[in-house]
Every structure is written in structure tokens, then in C-alpha cells.
């Protein structure tokens, strides 16, 4: 009997641990929001975080979007050719980029770059007692470390998504015009005509949610890092994994909310 | 005066503190000695509220540490951490003047910088050090910067966590002398945790020995060598044989 129930117990334990972790992250996120809203504020740390999260992520998000837009154009063209629908390439590239691929791939790239760096930085601060030092200097770590990063990521990632969307559509345009033989003016007209404002706005909302998730998970795992280099390494890995999974799950939920009939 | 009564703290099954009672008189330098892992750092962190004791009371000048207004309470303290705990992202002067650049003790930036440079000078560092980053400093210099940060806001109570760990004997002597001078000239109450006996003799007015989660012995430094307490005698002479079990 024990052998029969052992795998079930393992599944149960893992499921409960996952729910417990989500609960702890949710409480941490609520605390972060409350610290964002209440003074004191740290504008210098916020500006630094905006640069770190937003500006310095532009190259990786831009490159990802450029190649994704191009690949998307090729895929839609070859797939559409099966039922003589090659002309939908511009509109599907645009809609696919702004609704789905721009926010999701942008969010995942920021998760890889930013959640890891926040977790490593904050985790190192934890193990070298810098966070304890902050407390003894009458500075709340949630206010000084977490609040500026969470606010900055929530505001910066939608901007990154907007830039990524534009570059992705441009990537599709380059492939469409130079490789697939589309007329440039027609390609742009189709892109413009079939794209609605809500397509773009929904993607930006997703970007804000993903930015929030990235910064919260980075800070949470950093603040709860184990001891030593191994502890910081584990925290960094856990932050990236948790941020990526939460981004994909949140993306599905938001898509249901925004677009379900 | 800092008073600890019946402090217990456990981490899971590991009962680190098992009823610590200790009084640190105002203006005195108390050094807590004890082996590694006996809970000396946990005790300091309990006083500062960085670790919550399971039971027991901590009062500072009659004020309960757990119910006091946090900012005002912490403004009375300065702390030198074992590894310095300097903020890597800030230059040295901003580390020293951290408290003076934000919060209730905020000063204009130029004034905060001047105070930081003055405190750096007090711990024997040149003004040129002010614009360096912590990673550019040696271990001894980092300790001095940590010391300058601990005294920057002129606190009433200063904690020193293993102030000479990792330093060569000469630099350790310099840091010990600095701590003694600064504590005397500021009239501050000091609590130091260490297992470096040269530090104990240089810094302490009173000594307390923590072992087995309780204070085994406490008394003036002048009585430390003559006390018959077997724990203290084994510890200060570094004997392998005695009531303290050495893990081999």
C-alpha cells in the first residue's frame, strides 16, 4: 500500500509546496504595492531601476522582436499558402506581435535578464548582511529595494513591449517586402487597417503585469535567498523559473479576460 | 542601559538562546565572548529587532524594544557588521553618510559629505577614499568605513560584530584602539561580540560569556583572568580539554 501511495504523496507534497510558494509571493507582492503607495519614496533608486530594467533591456527585447517578426511572416506565408491566404501576412504579423508575441517574448526576455539580476543582487545583499545594515540605518528594505524596482518594472516593460511590437512588425515588413515580394505600401496599409487600438492596449497591459511579476519574483527570491554562493545561485534560478511560469500563466488568464467571446 | 531578561530563540529544533539574562550599563563597553555558533550574533540581532525572540523581554533605558517606534529606536544605534556590510552600489562617502542623506536625520548633501569625510578622517582614512567604491578597498579599510558609518550619526549605542575577524594582527590592533577611543570619546554604550581575546582585553569594561544558550559568567574585565569559572578559563586560554566540548 505504501508503495502505491508514495507517488501520490509526492505529487500532493509538490502541489501544496507550489501553492504555498504562490501564496507567499502574493503576500510579498501585496506588501510591495503598499510600500509603493506610502512614503518615504526613493526617486533616485526608482530612476536607476528604470534605466536598468527598461533602457538596458532594449537591445535584447529589440533583437528578439526583430527575428520573431521576420520568422512569423515566413511561417504565416508558408502556412497561408495552403489555403491561398498569403495576403494575410501583414495583418496577422501585426496582431500576433502586439497581442501575444511582443508582450510574452518581451516579458520572458526581461525575466531572464532582470529577474535574475535582481535576485542575484538582492540575494548577495542578504547574505552579506547589507539588508540587515539597511534596517539598522532606519531604512525599510521593502521600500528601498523592492518598491522602486517593482514600480520601475511595471512602468518600463509596457514601453519595452511597445518598442518590441514596432520592431517586430518592422521585422515582418522587412521579410514580407524583401523576401516574400509584398508591395511596401500595401503591406503597411494592411498592417494599419486590420490593427485595432485594443490589440495594442491589451498587449501593453500584459506588459505591465509581466513587469510587475518579474520584479516581484526577483525581489522575493533575493530577499529569501539561502546562505552563500549556492544560496544566491538557487535564488536566481528560482526567480527566473517562477517569473517565466507566472508570465505564461498570467498571459493565458489575461487573454481569456481580454478576448474571450 | 540595555536589559535582556529570559531571551529564548530557536531556529527549528536548534535552540540557540535558552534564557539569556544580561544587563549592559549605560556608557559601558560590554564584550560577549563565546564559541562559534553559540548565538552571539543572534543576541545582537534580537536587540535590534532583526530577529524576533521567541520569549523574553528586551528594554533599552526602560523602553521595550519590541513596542518602541522603530525609526526613533534604531536612530539610537550604530552597528559595525562582521563583513562590513557596505553597500556595493554606493561610493564610500554615501555609505558613511547613508543615514544623513535620508529619513529623519537628513542633512543637505554637502553637509552630509563633509560629515562623512570627517568621520573617515576619524577612523584614519584620507578624504580621497570618499569617492572610491567598497570593492576598491582592502578588508581593513572596509572595516574602518563600516566603523565610520556606525558612528556617523553619533549614536548612543554601538554594536560591533566580530570587529577584527579576517584582519592581520596589526590591523586588528588598530581597529581595537579605534573602537576603544571612539566609544570613550562619544560616551556611548557598546556591545561587542568576538572570540578574539586581544579585542576583549582592548575593548571591554565588562565581559559576558555565552555558552549553551545562557550567560555562563559575567563580570568586569579585571576579574576575567581570575574567575574560577571553568567555561571562561577554558575559553580564554584556548584549551581543548574542559567543560566546553570541542567538535573534532
- Chain A hits for B82, CB-CB cut-off 8 Å, are 129
pLDDT of residue B118: 92
B50/A132 CB distance under 8 A: yes
Distance of alpha carbon A142 from alpha carbon A232, whole angstroms:
19
Answer whether residue A9 is part of any domain. no
Sign of CA dihedral A205, A208, A211, A216: negative
Residues whose CB falls within 8 Å of the CB of residue A131, separated by 6 or more in sequence, listed in order: A122, A125, A141, A145, A223
B81/A129 CB distance under 8 A: yes
Say whether pTM exceeds 0.90: no
Alpha-carbon distance values, A8 to A4, A16, A19, A97, A191 (Å): 8, 12, 16, 41, 51
Residue A173 clears pLDDT 60, i.e. is over it: yes
- Chain A hits for B70, CB-CB cut-off 8 Å, are 138
Distance of alpha carbon A41 from alpha carbon A35, whole angstroms:
9
- Give backbone dihedrals phi and psi of A138, rounded to 5 degrees, phi first: 60, 30
Of B49, B82, B98, the CB nearest to A137: B98
Report the complex ipTM. 0.88
Best residue in A138, A142, A145, A148 for a mutation probing chain B (most B CBs within 10 Å): A138
pLDDT of residue A102: 95
- Chain A hits for B102, CB-CB cut-off 8 Å, are 40, 42, 139
Residues 58-97 of A with CB under 8 A from B: none
Residue A246 clears pLDDT 70, i.e. is over it: yes
Answer whether residue A152 is part of any domain. yes
A136/B98 CB distance under 8 A: no
pLDDT of residue A1: 64
Answer whether residue A91 is part of any domain. yes
- Cβ count within 10 A of residue B119: 25
Of B74, B83, B103, the CB nearest to A128: B83
pLDDT of residue A260: 81
Answer whether residue A181 is part of any domain. yes
Smallest CA–CA distance, residue B242 to chain A, in Å, is 32
Question: Tens place of pLDDT for every residue, chain B, 248 residues?
Answer: 899 999 999 998 999 999 999 999 999 999 999 988 889 999 999 999 999 999 999 999 888 888 878 888 888 999 999 888 999 999 999 999 999 998 778 899 999 999 999 999 888 899 999 999 999 999 889 988 999 999 998 899 999 999 888 788 888 888 898 889 888 888 899 999 998 899 999 999 999 999 999 999 999 999 999 999 999 999 998 888 888 876 55
- Chain B hits for A46, CB-CB cut-off 8 Å, are none
B83/A42 CB distance under 8 A: no
Q: Is the peptide bond before A229 cis (omega within 30 degrees of 0)?
A: no
Of A40, A42, A128, the CB nearest to B85: A128
Answer whether residue A7 is part of any domain. no
pLDDT of residue B166: 79
Which residue in A67, A247, A35 sits closest to A149, CA to CA?
A35
End-to-end CA gap in chain B: 39
- Chain B hits for A139, CB-CB cut-off 8 Å, are 98, 102-103
- Chain A hits for B104, CB-CB cut-off 8 Å, are 138
Answer whether residue A31 is part of any domain. no
Q: Which long-range contacts (CB under 8 A, 24 or more apart) does B125-129 make?
A: B129/B92
- Whether the CB-CB separation of B20 and B210 falls below 8 Å is answered with yes
DSSP bridge partners of B64 = B59
- Give backbone dihedrals phi and psi of B238, rounded to 5 degrees, phi first: 65, 40
Once rounded to an integer, what is the mean pLDDT over residues A196-208? 96
- Whether the CB-CB separation of B106 and B77 falls below 8 Å is answered with no
- Cβ count within 10 A of residue A166: 16
Chain A within 8 Å of B103 (Cβ-Cβ)?
yes
Answer whether residue A46 is part of any domain. yes
- Whether the CB-CB separation of A242 and A215 falls below 8 Å is answered with no
- Whether the CB-CB separation of B53 and B16 falls below 8 Å is answered with no
Give residue A111's domain range.
41-259
DSSP assignment string, B143-209: HHHHHHHHHTT--SEEEEESTTTT--HHHHHHHHHHHHHHHHHHT-EEEEE-S-HHHHHHH-SEEEE
Q: Which three cell numbers stand for residue B223?
A: 576579574
Chain A within 8 Å of B241 (Cβ-Cβ)?
no
Chain B within 8 Å of A136 (Cβ-Cβ)?
yes
B238, burial (CB in 10 Å: exposed 0-12, middle 13-18, buried 19+): exposed
Domain total for chain A? 1
Residues 112-151 of B with CB under 8 A from A: 149
Amino acid at each position: 500500500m505504501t508503495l502505491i501511495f508514495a507517488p501520490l504523496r509526492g505529487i500532493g507534497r509538490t502541489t501544496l509546496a507550489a501553492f504555498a510558494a504562490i501564496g507567499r509571493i502574493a503576500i510579498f507582492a501585496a506588501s510591495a504595492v503598499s510600500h509603493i503607495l506610502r512614503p518615504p519614496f526613493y526617486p533616485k533608486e526608482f530612476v536607476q531601476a528604470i534605466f536598468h530594467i527598461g533602457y538596458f533591456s532594449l537591445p535584447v527585447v529589440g533583437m528578439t522582436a526583430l527575428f520573431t517578426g521576420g520568422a512569423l511572416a515566413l511561417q504565416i506565408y508558408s502556412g497561408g499558402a495552403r489555403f491561398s491566404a498569403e495576403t494575410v501576412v501583414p495583418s496577422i504579423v501585426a496582431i500576433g506581435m502586439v497581442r501575444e508575441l511582443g508582450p510574452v517574448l518581451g516579458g520572458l526576455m526581461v525575466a531572464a535578464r532582470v529577474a535574475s539580476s535582481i535576485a542575484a543582487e538582492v540575494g548577495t545583499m542578504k547574505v552579506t548582511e547589507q539588508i540587515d545594515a539597511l534596517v539598522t540605518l532606519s531604512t525599510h528594505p521593502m521600500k528601498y529595494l523592492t518598491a522602486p524596482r517593482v514600480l520601475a518594472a511595471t512602468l518600463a516593460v509596457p514601453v519595452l513591449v511597445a518598442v518590441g511590437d514596432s520592431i517586430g512588425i518592422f521585422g515582418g515588413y522587412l521579410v514580407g517586402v524583401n523576401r516574400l515580394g509584398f508591395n511596401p505600401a500595401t503591406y503597411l496599409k494592411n498592417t494599419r487597417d486590420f490593427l485595432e487600438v485594443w490589440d495594442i492596449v491589451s498587449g501593453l497591459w500584459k506588459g505591465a503585469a509581466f513587469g510587475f511579476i518579474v520584479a516581484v519574483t526577483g525581489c522575493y527570491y533575493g530577499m529569501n535567498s539561502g546562505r552563500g554562493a549556492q544560496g544566491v545561485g538557487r535564488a536566481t534560478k528560482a526567480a527566473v523559473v517562477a517569473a517565466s511560469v507566472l508570465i505564461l500563466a498570467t498571459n493565458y488568464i489575461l487573454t481569456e479576460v481580454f478576448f474571450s467571446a | 542601559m540595555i536589559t535582556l531578561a529570559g531571551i529564548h530563540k530557536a531556529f527549528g529544533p536548534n535552540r540557540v538562546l535558552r534564557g539569556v539574562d544580561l544587563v549592559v550599563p549605560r556608557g559601558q563597553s560590554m564584550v560577549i565572548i563565546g564559541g562559534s555558533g553559540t548565538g552571539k550574533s543572534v543576541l545582537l540581532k534580537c536587540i535590534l529587532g532583526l530577529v524576533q525572540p521567541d520569549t523574553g523581554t528586551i528594554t533599552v533605558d526602560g523602553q521595550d524594544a519590541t513596542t518602541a517606534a522603530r525609526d526613533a529606536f534604531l536612530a539610537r544605534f550604530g552597528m559595525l557588521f562582521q563583513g562590513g556590510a557596505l553597500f556595493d552600489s554606493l561610493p564610500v562617502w554615501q555609505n558613511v553618510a547613508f543615514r544623513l542623506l535620508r529619513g529623519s536625520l537628513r542633512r543637505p548633501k554637502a553637509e552630509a559629505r563633509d560629515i562623512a569625510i570627517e568621520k573617515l578622517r576619524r577612523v584614519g582614512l584620507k578624504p580621497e577614499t570618499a569617492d572610491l567604491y567598497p570593492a576598491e578597498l582592502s578588508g581593513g579599510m572596509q572595516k574602518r568605513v563600516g566603523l565610520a558609518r556606525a558612528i556617523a550619526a553619533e549614536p548612543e549605542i554601538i554594536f560591533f560584530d566580530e570587529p577584527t575577524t579576517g584582519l592581520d594582527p596589526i590591523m586588528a590592533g588598530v581597529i581595537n584602539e579605534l573602537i576603544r577611543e571612539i566609544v570613550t570619546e562619544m560616551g556611548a554604550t557598546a556591545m561587542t561580540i568576538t572570540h578574539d581575546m586581544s579585542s576583549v582585553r582592548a575593548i571591554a569594561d565588562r565581559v559576558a560569556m555565552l555558552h549553551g544558550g545562557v550567560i555562563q559568567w559575567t563580570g568586569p574585565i579585571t576579574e576575567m583572568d581570575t574567575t574560577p569559572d571553568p567555561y571562561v578559563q577554558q575559553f580564554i586560554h584556548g584549551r581543548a580539554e574542559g567543560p566546553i566540548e570541542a567538535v573534532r
